[in-house]
Structures are given as structure tokens and as C-alpha cells.
Structure 1
């Protein structure tokens, strides 16, 4: 079959402001198995430009595809654009079959299929094996009902979903279709040739607001040696300099992570690795952090979410403020940058809470911070807690964590955004931070901090202008439940759990 993959242009600030772009890992992960099965696969990455809808449609139609796949990592906020593309394609050629995958359609499959006839089939959960089976099914004319992990309309227009697909137990059984991209087109951190990769999928922790944990269902990891070997090949053959790990928590298993570090050191390639992890994993690994740095790890984003103990208990974050502070100290000791995420917009927050959070951030002394806004997902337990809160942002393109979407009891949006923007400046421009940016002993770290500061400055002004001139908050908006629908946390796990497997058990070691 001729299959075209589409990465929609994203409206999020993080996609539009930087000059760098990263490859669409999800689509490329699906592409590899399809290519190996003999299908002719091509990619349209509409983030470049970004491409206009007419250009996307023209390129797709010119390819004469049998099947079109649409997906984006920013699943909820990218959905309106994905829908516009699908509808434009159907108007151009109603015979084109369109498959849609990602986190948002995995859970909102009923609503997506009900609101538009443009999507023919939705993939729910991991896509590699499901898409292989689906492509074979469509090529041979077998019934769709035989494929686990999809949703579709039957011949009478009734919306149906098959049983969930099973979690992929062996992540090394599928490869990424890197051949679909020109690596010279993709970069990060100011022009460094870069890719997104996954060492692991899922997370063993129980944070009740996380929209990713249930999607992956179970934490698993790749072979440390094979993963390191793939990174080394990308460096040697494609010139890739930087690896952005898309994992929720790659360090969950100390045993597996240590094996990966040792394998990377043995490969002896000068790549840089950035990603996200938990503060308690950093503290746990205090004795091997020198291996983190030797293997190429140069920055961790640490999800601290909030500095208020009551809020951390509400969202079941786990960890403690003392652990967060110690993790940042340890990272700095080993010349690894720390980026602390700080989430605001909880219903009962007051000015005093923001002031306390600001002082706590100063005491943490992170190298970088990222302020985010509470953004509940219907399939998470936190949604049930927040179900009666009032929605002030009806444009779901803004449900990207960088915009306030829920009303607060004590602070209006003007006060909140003003405080957040001032806190960002005060933390990033404090004398300690500026001294590191200017005089850090590691030249590469100076480069990365200066690049982030430059991007942060551009985003900061963009957010202010957007708030002042391009946002219209609802005064009497619906409740969160009325806006999205009833809580869906009973369906949080999108796939069937695998049978006992050594990789899923390593987290306990």
C-alpha cells in the first residue's frame, strides 16, 4: 500500500517560536514496521513553514495514497488542526482513507468519530503493531472488527471500538523509520542536529493529573545496549549531536539505566542527552551521577509541579521539597543542568501561594524554570477532582499547558499571568543564573543556557502580547465536565497489560 504520514502544523508557542524542529517520533515509529512489511511510506512534516492546509492537501493528493495517517505529539491541542486537514482531504478526494492516532483520539474516540466523518479509523494506544495489522487488514479486505485497538464506523454508521490492543512487551522488536527524514533538517538547542528517542515507555508512579501514564499502561524499557548502539549509529552515520528523550521517566529502573550509561560510555560518541526524570531518582543515583555526565547527559527536566505540600498531596506527586532541592544540588555538582517545572492555576491558590512558590524556587536554585498551567485530561483521576471547575478557554488549541484554561477562585487571569511572568523574569535573571549563563566552566553548557535564555525571552514577549491582544476568556464558561464530558478515569489504561516480562519487572530491582 502507498501510505502517507502527516505531522500537522502545531499552534503551540513551543512549536512556533524556536528556529529548531525535532522529528515526529510517533509517526516514524509507526513507519518503520510498515516499511519492513513492504508498504511504500512517505512523510509530510507540516511543522516546517508551517505548511498551509492547501499545500498539505496538494502534496497528499499528488502522492495518490491508499492510506493517510495523521498524528501529533501535542495530541489535544493539535486535534483541531488534524481535523481541518482530514476534512480538507476528504473534500478533495472522498476515497482517501484516513487513520488518526495519538493520546487524544485514543480516549476521545467516540466524540471524534461523532463530530466528523473525515476520520475513517482511530488507533487507540501504541501504534506499531496495530498499524501493521490494520494495513494488512485493509490490503486484504478482512473485517476491521478483527483488529484490536481501533475504533471506526460500521456499514450502518454505528461507532464501534474493538477490544484494547496489548501493550508491546518487546520494544526492540520495532524500529524507527529514520530513513523518511533528512537529519539535516532537524535540530535543537540552537542548530545542533537532533532527534527524539525513547528508552522506555510509561511511568510506574501514580501522579493523578498525568495524561501519559495511562496511555502507555505499563513501564517498559528497551535493551540498554541496543539503544546505545542506535544512538551511536545516528551520530556516526547521520551526524546527530543531541538526543531528546521523550520518556516520562527513563531512570525508573536503576539497573537498566546504569546498563544504558555504561553502554553509552563504551560507544564513546560525543552526543548530548536531555530528558525528563524525577528528583528522587537523581538522589537515588548520587553515587553514579558522574556516569550520567560521562555518558552525555547534560540536562534533566524535573517535574516539581508545585512547592506547596497540600497541592503535591492533592495531585499525588510523591517526593518532597527537600528531595527536589538536593537533586538540583547534585546535578549542578556534576555539571548537569536542571530545569524545574512549576505548575500554577490550582483552584484555591492565592497571591500568598505564588509568593511562597517564588521564594521556594529561589531556594531550589534551578538553572532553568518552565511555568505551566493546570490542564486536566478527562481520562485522569485529577479530572474527577476538578470536574466542577469553570472553563475560561474554549479553544482547545490553547490546552497545551502554556495557557490558563480553568478559572481560579481567588485570582483572575490578569493577576495570574502578571505574577507568572514576573516570577519567570526574577528567577531566570537573578545574579546567580546570569553568572552561570555568562561564565559557566563548561562551554557546551554555556551555549545551551544562552540558547534557552534567548528562546525564553522570545516566548515571554509572545505570551504577553497574545494575552493582551489575542485571548478572550469566557466569563460564564461551562464546568470542566460539561465542556469535555463525564470523567473517564475508569478507562485510563488504554491497552491490555502484557504477560510477565523481564523488562517490566526491572523497575522493582
Structure 2
């Protein structure tokens, strides 16, 4: 079959402001196995430009695909764009099957199939094996209702098949790197870049995160084979920056140490960036020199908040003393720390924001990423937020960078004021500015200056959007009325008694 993969342009600030673009890893991960099955596969990446819906459809029609696959890492906020483009595809190419995958459609399959008749099927959960089976069935005209891991229509009604088995061997499916021109993709200020996954899932119980439910269990690639793949991307395609999509790649110290040793042995000049937990950094104090030697330049530490009561509410499982120690250890080993901080919890007051700002300053992170709390139906946190009022009905704004919920004690403008004040103070304090200007490590100095330049571009965009483009509701529906019933019961990891962290660490 001629199969077209489509990455639509995402409306998020992070996609529109930078000059850099990263490859759509999810679609490439599905594309590799389809190529190996003998299909002719092509990717249209609408992020470049960005492409208009008309331009994407014209390019697709000219290629005459026999099936179209949509997917987007942006999930909920990206869905309205996918819905628009998919509808235009159906009008321009009647009868061509349209398949949709990703986190949002995995859980919202009922609503999508009911409202969007042009969608043929939805891939629920991991897509590599399910997409292979689905494309094979569409090619032969077989009944797709026998394929695990999809949702489709039976007798005109949305129906889901049994869940697909968890992919235990992540090395059994390869990423279709040949689908992209590596010269077009960059990060870190124009350096050729890719997105990769060493692991999937997370063994922790944070109630605002859907990683456990979507991936069902934590697993990792073969550390040596993974290091070899990164080295090949550098040698054959000139890749310099590797952005890890993992929520928590360092769960198993043994596997992570093996990966670090293998990558060091490859002797390639790579810049590694990604996310992990502060307690893993503290645990690995004795091998952080290997992190640096392998190429790590920055870790985003998911701290979420500095208030102990809030951390308990969201079941973060961390502690402020651990967060502070992790930042200290990273700095001692020449690795940048980026602290995430989430605002918009219902009971927050000015005093809470002031206390949080002071604690963040005491952490002394190199960079900060500010986010707004954003509940999704498939997370346990949704039940805690179900009665809160929605102030942002535009689903394209549900991207963690826009206020979507009302807070009890503060109007939206004051939450924004604290949000921007916290960013400004943390990033512009004398100690931070001195590092940006005079850090002895040239690579880290470049990284901090690049991030600062992005911030200068994002700031006016966010403020302008808040003042003149966002349409906030004064008496909006509750979260439950806006989205529907909770779906945390569909989080397989919660009912399947996943392995404890100790078991994962022994993997």
C-alpha cells in the first residue's frame, strides 16, 4: 500500500516561536515497521512553514495514498487541527481510509468516531504492531474488528477491540529515520537534532500524568544497541543533539549505567537533553561524571511545585530537599538543571506564589519552565479537578501553557502576573545572568543564551495572546461538564498492579 503519514502544524507556542523543529518520533516509529512490511511510506511534516490545510491536502492528493495516518505528540491541543485536516482529506480523497493515533484519541475514541465520520479507525496505545496489522487488513479487505488495540465502527456505532499486548521488546521495531531529511531538523540553536526514546512508561504514581496508563509499564531499549543507534545517527546523518522523549529514562540504574558506558565507548560528540526525576540524580551521585562524559548538557527535573502539600495532592513522591540536592549535584558535574513549576491549583493565593518564588530561588536552578495545571480525563487528577470551572473553551489552548481553569481566590490576570514575575525573577537574577554571560563551559553558555533568546520571543507572544486573542469564559462549565466522565479506570497500569520501582530498578 501507499501509506501517507501526516504531522499537522501544532498551534502551541513552543512549535510556532522557535526556528528549530524536531522530527515527529511517533510517526517515524510507526513508519519503520510499515516500510519493513513492504509498504511504500511517505511523511508530510506540516510543521515547516507551517503548512496550511490546503497545502497539505494538495501535496497528499498529488501523491495518491491508499491510506492516511495521523498522529501528534501534542495530543489534546493538537486534535482540533488534526480534525480539520482529516476532514479536508476526506473531501479531497473520498474513500481513502483515515487512521488516527496518539494519547488523545486513545481515550477520546468514542467522541471522535461519533463526531468525525471520516475517521476509519483509531489506534489505541502503542502503535507499531497495531498499525502493521491494521494496514495489512486494509490492504486485503479483511475485517479490522479482529485486530487488538483499535477502535472503529460496527453497525454504525463506535466500538473498541481488546487491548493490544504490551510491546516487551522495544528493539523489535525500528524508527523509520529514512522518512526525513535530517538537514531540516534542528534544536539547541540550529544544531541537527532528533527525538528518541530509551524507555517507555513510568513506575511512579503522580496522579496528573497519563504515562502509566498509556504505556502500561516501564520498559527500556537494549542499552548497547541504543547507544549504537545514536552513534550511527551522528556519523551517518550529522546529528548533534539528541532529545530524549522519555518521562524517566533513568529508572534502572544498571541499564542506564550500561547505556552511558556504551555511548562513551562510541566516542561521538553528542549533546544529550531530556527529563528525569530529582531522586534519580541524587541516587546516581557516584556516576554523574559518566552522564557528563556521555554528553548530557541539561536535565528537566519534574518538580511541579515547591509546596509540600501540593506535592502530596498530586502524589509526586518527591521532596524539596531532594530537588535542591539534585540541582546542586548537576551543577557540580557541569550539567544544566531546568526546574518545572506548575501554577493554577484551585486554592492558590498570593502568599502561595510568593512562598513558591522564594523556594525556587533557594533551589537556584539554571533554567525554569513554567506550566499551568491542565487536567485530562484519563488521569486520576481529573477527579480532583472535575468540579472546577473551565475558563478556556478552545481546546487548542489545553497545552499546559495557557490558563484553562479558574482559581478560587485569584482572577486569571493575577495568576498570569505571578507566572511571568516568577519567570522573570528566576531567569534574571544576578547569579543566573552571570552564568548566561560568563559560564566557563562554552557549550553550556550557548545553551543558556539560546534558551534566554527563546524566552524573549515567547514573553510578548504570551502576553499579547492573553490580552487580545484568548477568549476566557466568566461562567464556564465544570471540567466534568466540559470533557465528560473520568476515564482513569481505563488506565491499565492502575488495575494491573504494575511492578514496583524496586522491580524496575533491577531490570
TM-score (norm 2): 0.98
Rounded to whole Å, the distance in 1 between the matches of 2:503 and 2:53 is 45
Deviations 1:324-366 (A, max 9, x none): 0000000000010000000000000000000000000100000
Does residue 256 of structure 1 match 2:262?
A: no
1:210 is paired with a residue whose SS is coil
Alignment of 1:437-452 (within 5 A): 437-452=436-451
CA contact (8 A) 2:203 2:498 kept: no
Does residue 84 of structure 1 match 2:90?
A: no
Does residue 53 of structure 1 match 2:75?
A: no
Rounded to whole Å, the distance in 1 between the matches of 2:47 and 2:496 is 34
Alignment of 1:114-153 (within 5 A): 114-153=114-153
Rounded to whole Å, the distance in 1 between the matches of 2:283 and 2:274 is 17
Gap change, CA 1:263 and 1:358, over 3 Å in 2: same
1:126 is paired with a residue whose SS is coil
The residue number in structure 1 matching 2:362 is: 363
The residue number in structure 1 matching 2:97 is: 97
2:51 is paired with a residue whose SS is coil
Rounded to whole Å, the distance in 2 between the matches of 1:453 and 1:75 is 27
Task: Quote the offset at 1:499 in angstroms.
Answer: 11
Alignment of 1:305-324 (within 5 A): 305-324=304-323
CA contact (8 A) 2:217 2:493 kept: no
Task: Quote the offset at 1:211 in angstroms.
Answer: 2.3
What are structure 1's unaligned runs of at least 5 residues? none
Rounded to whole Å, the distance in 2 between the matches of 1:405 and 1:212 is 21
The residue number in structure 2 matching 1:170 is: 169
Rounded to whole Å, the distance in 2 between the matches of 1:404 and 1:307 is 20
CA contact (8 A) 1:164 1:494 kept: no
The residue number in structure 1 matching 2:207 is: 208
CA contact (8 A) 1:293 1:336 kept: yes
2:131 is paired with a residue whose SS is helix
Task: Quote the offset at 1:504 in angstroms.
Answer: 11
The residue number in structure 2 matching 1:395 is: 394
CA RMSD, aligned part only? 1.6
Rounded to whole Å, the distance in 1 between the matches of 2:378 and 2:233 is 36
The residue number in structure 2 matching 1:75 is: 75
Deviations 1:458-502 (A, max 9, x none): 1111101111111111011000000000111100138997999xx
2:174 is paired with a residue whose SS is coil
Deviations 1:251-298 (A, max 9, x none): 000010000000011011010100000000000000100000000111
Does residue 378 of structure 1 match 2:363?
A: no
Rounded to whole Å, the distance in 1 between the matches of 2:492 and 2:405 is 25
The residue number in structure 2 matching 1:14 is: 14
Rounded to whole Å, the distance in 2 between the matches of 1:264 and 1:229 is 7
CA contact (8 A) 1:167 1:496 kept: no
Moved more, 205-214 or 426-435: 205-214
1:406 is paired with a residue whose SS is coil
CA contact (8 A) 2:218 2:504 kept: no
Gap change, CA 1:230 and 1:497, over 3 Å in 2: farther
What are structure 2's unaligned runs of at least 5 residues? none
Task: Quote the offset at 1:302 in angstroms.
Answer: 0.2
Does residue 195 of structure 1 match 2:181?
A: no
Task: Quote the offset at 1:162 in angstroms.
Answer: 0.3
Rounded to whole Å, the distance in 2 between the matches of 1:425 and 1:60 is 44
2:272 is paired with a residue whose SS is strand
Rounded to whole Å, the distance in 1 between the matches of 2:487 and 2:84 is 26
Task: Quote the offset at 1:218 in angstroms.
Answer: 0.4
TM-score (norm 1): 0.98
Rounded to whole Å, the distance in 2 between the matches of 1:114 and 1:508 is 44
Deviations 1:398-451 (A, max 9, x none): 000000101100011000101111111111000000000011111011001000
1:389 is paired with a residue whose SS is coil
The residue number in structure 2 matching 1:352 is: 351
Rounded to whole Å, the distance in 1 between the matches of 2:290 and 2:157 is 55
Task: Quote the offset at 1:506 in angstroms.
Answer: 4.3
Deviations 1:207-252 (A, max 9, x none): 0000222111100000000000000000000000000000010000
Deviations 1:44-66 (A, max 9, x none): 00000000000100111111111
The residue number in structure 2 matching 1:303 is: 302
Gap change, CA 1:506 and 1:211, over 3 Å in 2: closer
Rounded to whole Å, the distance in 2 between the matches of 1:325 and 1:413 is 30
CA contact (8 A) 1:3 1:40 kept: yes
Task: Quote the offset at 1:95 in angstroms.
Answer: 1.1
The residue number in structure 2 matching 1:23 is: 23
Rounded to whole Å, the distance in 1 between the matches of 2:86 and 2:216 is 28
Deviations 1:79-116 (A, max 9, x none): 00000001011111221110000000000000011111
2:204 is paired with a residue whose SS is coil
